[in-house]
Homo-oligomer: A and B are copies of this chain.
Amino acid sequence: MELVERVLAGDQWAISKAISAVENGGPEGRAIMKAVFPHVGGAVRIGITGPPGVGKSTLCDAITGVLRPAGRRVGIISVDPSSAFTGGALLGDRIRMGRVAEDPEVFMRSMATRGAFGGLSRATQDAADLLDAAGCQTLLIETVGVGQSEIEVARAADCVGVVLSPESGDGIQAMKSGLMEIADLVVINKADRVGADKLEYDIRSAFELGLKSRRETPILLTEAHRSKGVPELVGAIDQFVAACRADGRFEARRRCNMESRLRQIAEFMIHHSLFEVNGASRRVEALAQRVLERRQSSYDAAEELVREALDPNRGANS
C-alpha cells in the first residue's frame, strides 16, 4: 500500500489519513494496521492525564519543548475534549500550541472522544501504533482523567503522569476517583498558585497512609506555561522508564496492556458482526419494542440477538 509506505516515511498527510481510516474502523484501517505492525514498538508512550483545566496541553507543549532539542521526534495524541489541541477549541487556546504547530518533527492529532467506532481506547492505541511506525520516539497521550474509557486510555501507556493543579480540590477528587492508582508520577502544575504546597502535602500523606506501593511515586512541581520544572519532569519520566526496562516491569506491563488491547479489538470485531450487518438494526428495534411492551425480558431479547448473530447460516438467509 502506498499510504503505508508514506506513513513509514513520516509523511504527515499520510499519517493523518491513516489515523482517520483507523478511527472509522473500516476494512482500510484494519489493512493499514496489519501492514505497519513490524515497525511498531519502538516509541515510549507517556500518558498525561488529569482533571479538566489543570494545564495538560500546555504541559505536553512544554515537554515537547524539552524533548525536541534533544533530537527526539515527538507525537502527541489528544483524547481530551477540553484540550487546547483538539479541533473544537472554543477559546483562543490555540495560541498555546506554538511549538507543536511549527515543528515538522512533531506530529499532533486529536481523537474524537465520542462515537469512536469500537471504543476510544482501541482507536487511540491504533493511532499511537501509527505514530510509532512513523518514527516518533516519544508519544504523549493526553487524556482527561475523569471517566472509565478515558482512564483506560491513560493506563495503556508505558508511564502515566497524573497532572493536578492547586485549584478546586483536584487532589481529593483524584484520590476518590481512583485516578491516583494509575499514577507513575504525579505532576502538580500551576505550582506558583496558592495551595500547591498543601496539595503536595495531601498527596504525600495519602500515599504514606493508604497506598503503600505508592510511597516512592515522584511528585513534581511545574509551571508549564514557562517550562519551569519541566526538564526535571522529563528527567523523572526517563528515569522511571529506564528503571522499568532494567527490572522487567516495562515488558510485563506491555504484555498486560497488549492482552487488554487484543480483547478490545476482538470485541470491536464482534460488535461489527452483531450490529453492522444487514437487517441487524431492524431486528434490534423489534426486540426493543417487545421488551417495552413487557412481553419479554431484556436479557431474553439480548440472548436472541446473540444467538442470531452467531448463527453461521444467517448470512445465507438475509
Q: A33-B298, A82-B176, A90-B176 are in contact. Are A146 and B303 (CB under 8 A)?
A: no
Q: Which residues in window 161-185 of A have CB below 8 A to B? A: 167-169, 172-173, 175-178
Contact assessment for A265 and B88 in the assembled complex, using a CB-CB cutoff below 8 Å: no
A34 within 8 Å of B (CB atoms): yes
Q: Choose the segment among A12-20, A57-65, A241-249, A268-276 that binds chain B (4+ C-beta atoms closer than 8 Å).
A: A268-276
Name A288's contact: one of B37, B114, B258 (CB within 8 Å): B258
Kindly list chain B residues whose C-beta atoms are within 8 Å of the C-beta of A315: none
Contact assessment for A81 and B177 in the assembled complex, using a CB-CB cutoff below 8 Å: yes
In this complex, which of A91, A251, A267, A287 has the most chain B Cβ atoms within 10 angstroms of its Cβ?
A267
Name A262's contact: one of B144, B269, B287 (CB within 8 Å): B287
Contact assessment for A149 and B146 in the assembled complex, using a CB-CB cutoff below 8 Å: no
Contact assessment for A34 and B300 in the assembled complex, using a CB-CB cutoff below 8 Å: yes
Q: Choose the segment among A66-74, A191-199, A213-221, A305-313 that binds chain B (4+ C-beta atoms closer than 8 Å).
A: A305-313
In this complex, which of A146, A292, A305 has the most chain B Cβ atoms within 10 angstroms of its Cβ?
A146
Name A302's contact: one of B172, B265, B285 (CB within 8 Å): B265
Contact assessment for B265 and A299 in the assembled complex, using a CB-CB cutoff below 8 Å: yes
In the assembly, what is the distance between CA of A34 and CA of B62, in Å?
Answer: 55
In the assembly, what is the distance between CA of A168 and CA of B265, in Å?
Answer: 37
Contact assessment for A33 and B284 in the assembled complex, using a CB-CB cutoff below 8 Å: no
Kindly list chain B residues whose C-beta atoms are within 8 Å of the C-beta of A266: 274, 302, 305-306, 309
A291 within 8 Å of B (CB atoms): yes
**For this complex, into which size category does the number of interface residues on chain A fall?**
35 or more
Summarize A's interface: helix, strand, loop or mixed: helix
In the assembly, what is the distance between CA of A51 and CA of B150, in Å?
Answer: 15
A156 within 8 Å of B (CB atoms): no
Query: Per-position contact with B for A25-65: 1 when CB-CB < 8 Å, else 0?
Result: 00000100111111011000000000111000000000000
Nearest neighbor of A168 in chain B, beta-carbon distance? B168
In the assembly, what is the distance between CA of A306 and CA of B292, in Å?
Answer: 32
A6 within 8 Å of B (CB atoms): no
Kindly list chain B residues whose C-beta atoms are within 8 Å of the C-beta of A310: 310
In the assembly, what is the distance between CA of A147 and CA of B262, in Å?
Answer: 22
Contact assessment for B305 and A288 in the assembled complex, using a CB-CB cutoff below 8 Å: no
In the assembly, what is the distance between CA of A298 and CA of B305, in Å?
Answer: 27
Name A147's contact: one of B150, B168, B258 (CB within 8 Å): B150
Kindly list chain B residues whose C-beta atoms are within 8 Å of the C-beta of A212: none
Contact assessment for A259 and B271 in the assembled complex, using a CB-CB cutoff below 8 Å: no
Kindly list chain B residues whose C-beta atoms are within 8 Å of the C-beta of A176: 81-82, 88-90
Contact assessment for B52 and A305 in the assembled complex, using a CB-CB cutoff below 8 Å: no
Contact assessment for B178 and A114 in the assembled complex, using a CB-CB cutoff below 8 Å: yes
Contact assessment for B173 and A53 in the assembled complex, using a CB-CB cutoff below 8 Å: yes
Kindly list chain B residues whose C-beta atoms are within 8 Å of the C-beta of A267: 267, 270-271, 274
Contact assessment for A261 and B144 in the assembled complex, using a CB-CB cutoff below 8 Å: no
Q: A148-B148, A274-B267, A299-B34 are in contact. Are A177 and B41 (CB under 8 A)?
A: no
